A and B are shown apart, each in its own frame.
Chain A
Amino acid sequence: MSNNHLMEFDNEKTTDVLEKSKQLGLLEKDLVEMYRTMISIRLFEEMADKLYALGKVHGTMHLSAGQEGVAVGTGKVMGAEDYLLNHHRGHGHFIASGADIKKMMAEFLGKETGYCKGRGGSMHIADVEANNLGANGIVGGGIQLAAGVGLAIKMMGEERVVLVIFGDGAANQGILYESFNMAAIWDLPVVYLCENNQYGMSADVTRVSSKVPFKERATAHGIPGYYIDGNDVLAVYETMANAVEHARSRKGPVFVEAQTYRYFGHSKSDRNLYRTRDEIEEWKHRDPIERFQKLLVDANIITEEDIEKIYQEMSQLIDEAVEFAENSPEPDVSEVTEWVYA
């Protein structure tokens, strides 16, 4: 059994959602909205998988089902003016940051109406005008840019922060340490979020990493580091709120590592040979959506009836996005060489 380094968070686990949300300044409607967003991500990913199975997707995809707690806890914290650098398993973070699901689905299907006019696909969804600087097909790709975005924010004297999200795989790319060093010596407003889902493709994080958790590598650079339960959406929100506040108040970079798990394989070629069915099932007992749902139900914030209604609404939203994408035009092949240069 792998994952023997996993931390238990019993002491810090959110058990009383009312108490916790009060402490965090979240209203009941915020909690319901967060829950709805988590559902929309899960349904988006399941639809993406289905569309692929139906042969409607030309390229590859990297699904984040199981990681909704990290996405929504983080997205709720970030301001519209903050920059986002995302990783290749990024659908959830985009949805949580308020992206238009129709445009995402259209990009996924390679249509002209997609965020990148069908030039990028799932791995490169970006919305630069909305400060979303893109998902990245290179593991650690966003890390390369993060210090520069932070430097620009500092030079322009702005109050924004840049959030760069990457996985445990990227934590072993050398650029992370060049970036840590630069961000630390220049006190840049960079929030590093390592979404540790236990595997870099098939590589068990403990097998390929000299030392875990990675937060110790951040603290070794003088950067405050946190290790949290990524499947506890309110714990994510709490830590990310503190982290963003730290960066925004010009105290320099900060690092958060969120422990989580992906249910689907790495990409469409994955046959899950490197992990057991039992392991996947075990993680489903820590499912971020079910945990949050139980808290909300126990606190009488939502009822079973509400849940059904939310699923229906979100499902309809996804269906509409698919319909929009399918009815959208293909890019004009005569424009294949557009936008190489500005």
Chain B
Amino acid sequence: MSAPTYDLGTLHGGLRLPANKSVSTRQPIINAPLPSQLVLPITQHVGDPAQPIIGIGERVLKGQLIAEMTGSLGAPVHASSSGKVIAIEPRPVSRRNGDNAPCIIIECDGKDEAIQAADAMPNFTEISPSSLLRAILQGGIVGLGGAVFPTAQKLMQARTCDIDQLLLNGVECESYISCDDMLMRERAGQVISGAQILMHALEIDKCLIAIESDKPEAIRALGGVLGEMDDSRITLKQVPTIYPSGGEDQLVQLVTNREVPSGGLPSDVGCLVQNVGTAAAIHDWIIDNQPLIARITTITGDGVANPINVRARIGTTIEDVITLAGGYTDRARQLIIGGPMTGKSVTTDRVPLVKSTNCILVSSETPSAEPEMPCIRCGDCASVCPVQLLPQQLFWYACADNEIKLREFGLIDCIECGCCDLVCPSHIPLTVNFRVAKGRIRELADEKARAVRARQRFEARNDRLEREKSERECELRNQKDLAKKAGPSAIAEILKRKQQKNEDDS
């Protein structure tokens, strides 16, 4: 079965990146052995940090809730294996570079003993969508494409909109990363099952699974499962292999020809996008009762000896999984969490693998020797920008710190895909400049908000003083009026009294 490619929208610009994926897809997914220690950050998602609910020294079991969700946006954290909690302390993590973040440290006992399972819901169709959503919320499931937005909240938000289709994102458009490809090849059934659960939760009956054209094995695997299941609601859609077609808004545009409004969400145009890995994680939780405690990660790059995909427990340190890929080569220079276009460079491999870690790229690439030159206005950046921005103009305004023009030229719409950097003959680090400029705009906005509040306070105080003054004046006037009303004889009497008093005093 081949997936159809017709009826696609268009994506402006983009790049054909060197794939570098086949090196890591030669072997099946390897299950990583249990590490001796697990490092579980309490913030592995967008939103508020989870609140640890276990004490130090306490024994925890695999799948046990160890930190619960707080606030309105967040996700719980579960123990990835059984063992003893030995510390809750700040440790280096990959999300905030250089910074430490609070983590729960578990010393594994190697028994991998699972907690007594709550009720699995293999017959999820009999459950109401809202209870299904509540169940998903308990599983600690977040968007596994890299954005780690809590899935349950995303679904709840989508249910308030007029959603007509679910889009499963199997478009792994970054170089090197192949974890979703391998997932679709080996766990196609779970992906489809996850899609069915999602459709039930959203009460919709249309799902498109978008896959890039360079993943024929994944297309075959999913096609095979779909053929067996005979679920006509789900269709596969092949999309061209162009970076960044896997970006959420870009995928919506490519597959449905709808433009996600600036500052809006795909749900504004009737779509809900979920990564295929997230769908499989939902299956694992709802059907098999396993919360999100493991994920597939690509370990690749010319800095490791034997690139592979591993399924590792969340909390395993990168140091531990690198050995599964044959360890570092002499050429290892950089450790990148994520892909080469949008990943984050970390300075140590003692950071844990977390829910968002789709790829560990060990690269030999050193910074370009070419010096940064002035922009020659060639416009190549604009021709590759998937949002149709004018990066050369934005760069100009970013240098000039011209906030008004930056807003007018859509800086906030920049998705930081990095395409413009890659085609710039002047080697200008445009994306970095835009990130900094966005930060400044946010700061300015905060500052402005503070200034507005201060002004409001000031004006309120002025108003109050003014009011008090006018009240006093009013009172005075009233007294005078009273005196006037009493007539000249009364005034004369008052004056006389005053005079009398003065004389008495002297």
Q: Do A and B come from one complex?
A: no
List chain A positions with a Cβ less than 8 A from chain B.
none
List chain B positions with a Cβ less than 8 A from chain A.
none
